[in-house]
Amino acid sequence: MSSVIEVGIVGGTGYTGAELLRLLARHPRARVKVLTSRQEAGKRADALFPQLRGICDVSYTTPDVAALAGCNAVFFATPHGTAMGMAPELVAKGVKVIDLSADFRLKDPAVYQRWYKHEHSCPELLQEAVFGLPEVHRAEIAKARVIGNPGCYPTAVTLGLLPLLEAGVVETSGLIADCKSGVSGAGRELRLSSMFVEASDTLKSYGVAGHRHQPEIAQELSLAAGEPVGITFIPHLIPMNRGMQATIYARLKRDADLQALYEPLPRRAVRRRDAAGLGAGDALGAWLQPVPCGRAPPGRRRHGGGAVGDRQPGQGRRRPGGAVLQPDVRLRRADRARHAAAVAVNGKHSPRIVIERERSPWRRWAIVGGGTAALLLAGVGLYSYTRAHTVSDFERATLERDRLREDNREMSQKLRAALSENQGLKDQLAYVNRSAQIDDSACAAVKQSLASLQAESADLREQLGFYRGIVSPAETQAGMRVFEFKVSGAQAGKDVAPGTYKYDLVLIQSVRRDKHADGEASITFEGLRGGAKQSLKLADVATDGNKNLVFSFKYFQEFTGSFRFPDGFRPLRATVTLQGEGIPRVDDDYDWNKIMQEARS
């Protein structure tokens, strides 16, 4: 097997993918062979991330299974649902798959579908996938074909409770995980909650009713405890770029040396030789550093982890750092002769070699003596110069002080005059503003009165037209006719079903004033239902019991009521028909769209 492992990264432009690329590009036993991104295809990685100049010159390409199959291992830093679509073909070709999304974390496909709202496409791989937490599954990770890297919150909470549950010193119910995360945990895509104005100077909880990391935490803690656990998990967003803190509460069942339980935890993730096939060595213990009881964990760590289950560097151990635990290798070598050289290899493009030569004692004393003499001579010269110029400097300083005091008095007078003038201008501006406010109020009152008068005038014109049509109708308006037919949507309530309409029908007659006009009015609705034409009578759709509109009047009569169309019926027009003894038949057609436009206006 080659000493250098060729890897591919699918989705190398997000926060997680970029951090993964940085770690792998600096790893002494890894070479990034394939780097994919649909949006950035054709661009070099060091053009998109200048910090990679001189380290990684790979260009982005569109995802291609054939190209990825040429790698020893492929990392997926993609949204949920992407890795499961490509993993079966890659695994079949002997490629190890390390997924940083949630596609291979949960063992139960039904639980995955419940939380991620889509069915898992390869449940057979899900069953053999290993949860990528080396403190718990180190042996399985070394042999696994598919590794589901844990989420950020599950890593912090699981490591914080793991020693306690395994030792059986805390109750398995009533566990509480109060977690805070930086904004980069939400990903690099643009969203309102991640904008600076929304996230800065505030703290807010989210996913209180249920968070996707809850089943991961419950799965691993139940495995550690050997029984189902009950945990309340509340995540919070805090205004910082990256990082996480988890404050965890549990009830002790018995006294125990808690410090002794946590101390072995860092060593569980590593061995002398490779722990995950990528050359991770003894320095991996730096990822976890338990602190003594009673002391708070360190607040800022650029690389590596914080206290167990308490603080993590954002995008560090939580996702790509957990997939590639890269140590900082330092090699030192000393020559027992007269020379000493130290070489530090810390992942930079070219190591720096510093050589320090031992110096003889007489030369050191000569340098010290010469420096002391030079300091004495300089002190004597400075004293002589100061003594000679002290009197003249004091006189100049006194004159300058007096001049500055006079300037200060003049400036104070000018400032007082300016403040007085400024106050006068403020008073004038306030008077003008009050006058403008009064004018605006009067103008608004006039506009309101004018609008009210216009509304009253329109109402009077409508009433005048109504009575004029009855008392002195035009020749074309004589006889029985429909004066007004209106339809409007009824407001849904306790006794009114949605989709109910109200109608208002006014009939007038201006010829037979000596006796009543008797007859019956009917309303017919024509429309489409299921693509076919259909006619409905008011009696078929009435909801208030007014199915027969029988009229008997001298001057006018008004009918009101409500109706509701059956589901799927789309009205096109309405026809009002008047029939009576000695009365010519009247048929008035109304376009339904115009009726609705008049109702809205």
CATH topology of domain 150-327: Dihydrodipicolinate Reductase; domain 2 (3.30.360)
> At 11, is the secondary structure helix, strand, or coil?
coil
Enumerate the domain spans of the chain. 1-128, 150-327, 359-472, 478-600
- What is the predicted pLDDT for the residue at 342? 22
pLDDT digits (tens, 9 = 90+) for 524-567: 999 999 989 999 999 899 988 788 899 888 888 999 999 999 99
- Helices 214-225 and 134-143 sit at what angle, rounded to 10 degrees? 90
Element (H, E) at 214: helix 214-225
CA proximity to 288, closest of 251, 250, 262: 262
DSSP assignments along 274-332, one per residue: -SSSS---GGGGGG-----TT-PPPS--SSS--STTTEE-TTTTTTHHHHS------EE
Contacts of 213 (CB under 8 A, 6+ apart): 151, 152, 153, 154, 233, 235
pLDDT digits (tens, 9 = 90+) for 419-445: 988 898 988 898 888 888 888 888 888
Q: How many CB atoms lie within 10 A of CB 7?
A: 26
Using a cut of 0.85, tell me whether the model's pTM lies above it. no
User: In this structure, what token pair is assigned to residue 106?
Assistant: 């949960």
Alpha helices (runs of H) in 49-119, residue ranges in sequence order: 65-68, 83-92, 109-116
Q: By the 8 A CB rule, do 318 and 154 touch?
A: no
Q: Out of 56, 71, 122, 152, which one is annotated catalytic? A: 152
Measured in whole angstroms, the distance separating CA 56 from the mean position of its chain's CA atoms is: 31
pLDDT digits (tens, 9 = 90+) for 130-173: 999 998 999 999 999 999 999 899 999 999 999 999 999 999 99
Kindly tell me if the per-residue pLDDT of 308 is higher than 70.
no
| Angstrom distance (rounded) from CA 224 to CA 218 | 10
Using alpha carbons only, what angle is made at residue 223 by residues 220 and 228, rounded to the nearest 5 degrees?
Answer: 95
Contacts of 198 (CB under 8 A, 6+ apart): 192
What mean pLDDT is predicted for residues 346-365?
A: 40
pLDDT digits (tens, 9 = 90+) for 176-228: 999 998 877 666 666 666 677 676 777 878 888 889 899 999 999 999 999 99
For the question of residue 71 being annotated catalytic, the response is: no
| Angstrom distance (rounded) from CA 471 to CA 484 | 17
| Angstrom distance (rounded) from CA 265 to CA 2 | 32
3-class SS string, 227-277: CCCCEEEEEEECCCCCCEEEEEECCECCCCCHHHHHCCHHHHHCCCCCCCC
- What is the predicted pLDDT for the residue at 165? 94
- Superfamily of domain 1-128 in CATH is NAD(P)-binding Rossmann-like Domain (3.40.50.720)
Going by pLDDT thresholds of 50, 70 and 90, the confidence category of residue 282 is very low
User: In this structure, what token pair is assigned to residue 343?
Assistant: 């070489």
Going by pLDDT thresholds of 50, 70 and 90, the confidence category of residue 485 is very high
Kindly tell me if the per-residue pLDDT of 309 is higher than 80.
no
Top CATH class of 478-600 equals mainly beta
